[in-house]
Amino acid sequence: MQFLLAFLVAAPLLGAVAALLPAPPGLKGRNPEQAVLRHGVTVTGVILAAAIALALGFDHDAPARFQATTDISWIPALDVRIHLGVDGISLPLLVMTALLFFLCALYSYFKLPAGPSPKAFVALLLVLESGTLATFAVLDLLLFFLAFEMVLIPMYFLIARWGGAQRQAAAWKFILYTLLGSVVMLLGLLLIGVTADTFDMVALATDNGRELSRTTQLLAVLAIGLGLAVKTPMWPLHTWLPDAHTAAPTVGSVLLAGVLLKMGTYGFVRILLPVTPEGMAAFAPYLGAFAVVGIVYGSLACLALARKGNKGDLKRLIAYSSVGHMGFVLLGIASMTPTGVNGALFANIAHGLITGLLFFLVGALKDRYGTADLDTLAGATGAALYGRAPRFGALLAFAAVASLGLPGLAGFWGEMLALFGAFDPAEGLSRPAFLTYTAVGAFGTLLTAAYLLVVVRRVCMGDPKAGPELTVADVHRYEVAAWTPLVALTVLAGLWPALLLGLTDPAVQQLLAGGTS
Give the burial string for 344-354 (b: 16+ CB within 10 Å, else e).
Answer: bbbbbbbbbbb
Using alpha carbons only, how large is the chain's radius of gyration in Å? 22
Asked if 357 contacts 442 with a C-beta cutoff of 8 angstroms, the reply is: no
| pLDDT value, residue 463 | 65
| pLDDT value, residue 473 | 72
**pLDDT over 90 percentage in the chain:** 59
| Coil vs helix vs strand at 164 | coil
Residue 197 vs residue 355, higher pLDDT: 355
Q: How much is the average pLDDT of 71-97?
A: 89
| pLDDT value, residue 90 | 93
| pLDDT value, residue 516 | 46
501 CB neighbour count, 10 Å cutoff: 19
| pLDDT value, residue 307 | 86
| pLDDT value, residue 517 | 40
| pLDDT value, residue 460 | 83
Q: How much is the average pLDDT of 456-465?
A: 78
**pLDDT over 70 percentage in the chain:** 95
Please tell me which of 27-31, 247-251, 472-476 the model is most confident about, judged by mean pLDDT: 247-251
Predicted model pTM: 0.93
> Using CA atoms, how far apart are residues 462 and 464, in angstroms rounded to an integer?
6
| pLDDT value, residue 380 | 56
Q: Which has the closest alpha carbon to 259: 44, 431, 46, 425? A: 44
Q: Residue 470: pLDDT above 80?
A: no
Dihedral pair phi/psi, residue 500, rounded to 5°: -90, -45
Q: Residue 26: pLDDT above 60?
A: no
Q: Which has the closest alpha carbon to 17: 111, 106, 130, 113? A: 130
| pLDDT value, residue 158 | 92
Q: What is the pLDDT of residues 252-263, one digit of tens each?
A: 999 999 999 999
Please state whether the peptide bond connecting residue 285 to the residue before it is cis, i.e. omega within 30 degrees of 0: no
SS (H, E, C) 452-491: HHHHHHHHHCCCCCCCCCCCCCCCCHHHHHHHHHHHHHHH
Q: Say which residues have a Cβ less than 8 Å from residue 210's Cβ, sequence separation at least 6.
A: none
Q: How much is the average pLDDT of 158-182?
A: 88
Q: Is 79 left (phi over 0), alpha (psi -120 to 50) or beta?
A: left
CA atoms in the 13 A half-sphere facing the CB of 96:
33
CA atoms in the 13 A half-sphere facing the CB of 168:
0
Q: What is the pLDDT of residues 85-139, one digit of tens each?
A: 999 999 999 999 999 999 999 999 998 888 788 899 999 999 999 999 999 999 9
| pLDDT value, residue 358 | 94
Asked if 335 contacts 288 with a C-beta cutoff of 8 angstroms, the reply is: yes
| pLDDT value, residue 387 | 79
Q: Is 494 left (phi over 0), alpha (psi -120 to 50) or beta?
A: alpha
| pLDDT value, residue 495 | 94
Which pLDDT band, with edges at 50, 70 and 90, does 373 fall under?
confident
> Using CA atoms, how far apart are residues 459 and 305, in angstroms rounded to an integer?
13
Q: Say which residues have a Cβ less than 8 Å from residue 239's Cβ, sequence separation at least 6.
A: 173, 177
| pLDDT value, residue 30 | 64
> Using CA atoms, how far apart are residues 43 and 130, in angstroms rounded to an integer?
11
Q: Residue 363: pLDDT above 50?
A: yes
Which pLDDT band, with edges at 50, 70 and 90, does 142 fall under?
very high
- C-alpha separations of 188 from 82, 227, 493 in Å: 20, 9, 36
Q: Residue 79: pLDDT above 70?
A: yes
| pLDDT value, residue 28 | 59
- C-alpha separations of 122 from 5, 68, 146, 166 in Å: 22, 28, 21, 23
Asked if 487 contacts 396 with a C-beta cutoff of 8 angstroms, the reply is: no
| pLDDT value, residue 269 | 94
| pLDDT, averaged across the chain | 89
Q: Which has the closest alpha carbon to 213: 229, 226, 194? A: 194
Please tell me which of 273-287, 297-311, 467-481 the model is most confident about, judged by mean pLDDT: 273-287
Q: Residue 513: pLDDT above 70?
A: yes
Residue 414 vs residue 79, higher pLDDT: 414
Q: How much is the average pLDDT of 187-202?
A: 90
| pLDDT value, residue 78 | 75
